[in-house]
Amino acid sequence: METLMSKLPAVARVVLGLVFTLFGANGFLQLMPMPPMPAVAGAFMGALASTGYMLPLLGMVQLGAGVMLLLGRRVPLALALLAPVLVNIIAFHVFLAPAGLVIPLVLLALEIYLAWIYRAAFAPMLQGRAVERVARRDLLTAE
C-alpha cells in the first residue's frame, strides 16, 4: 500500500502532463477532431479563434506545461500556468457545454492534488506580506 501511495504523485503528474501535452499539440496539429458543441459554445470558440492569438497562446501554454509535467521539471510552474486554463475549461463546461464536464473535473482534482503535494513551493507566494530580498551583488553595485 505504501508503494502505491509513494507513486501516486508521479502517476497524477504524468496523467495531467499527457492530457495537456496532447490537447496542446492538438491545437497546432489537429490530431483529434473537434466534437460538435452547443451553438453558444461554438460561438465562444469562434470568438477566441477570431482574435488570431488566443487559441495558439492557449495551445502553447498547455503544450509547454504538459511537457514540463511529463519531464518532472518545474512542476510548480507548470501547475501555476495550468490553473487559469483549468478554471476557464471548467467555466466553459459549466456555462456553455455541460455534457463534457466530467473530464475537466478529474483534471481539476489532479491539479489540486499536485498543488497540495508541491505546497511548499507555493507557500512563499501565498504569504500575506511580501518579504523583499535583495541579492548581495546588487547591494555592492549600488554603493
Q: Do 18 and 63 meet the contact criterion of CB atoms below 8 Å apart?
A: no
pLDDT attached to residue 136: 60
Query: Could you tell me the three cell numbers for 106?
Result: 478529474
Q: Tell me the DSSP string of 73-130.
A: SSHHHHHHHHHHHHHHHHHHHHHT-GGG-HHHHHHHHHHHHHHHHTHHHHTGGG-SS-
- pLDDT, average across residues 120-137: 77
pLDDT over 70 percentage in the chain:
91
Kindly report the pTM of this predicted structure: 0.84
Closest C-alpha among 82, 93, 87 to residue 23: 82
Q: Where are the domains of the chain?
A: 2-142
- pLDDT, average across residues 97-112: 94
pLDDT tens per residue, range 77-92: 999 999 999 999 999 9
For the chain, first and last CA: distance in Å?
59
pLDDT tens per residue, range 42-76: 999 999 999 999 999 999 999 999 999 999 999 99
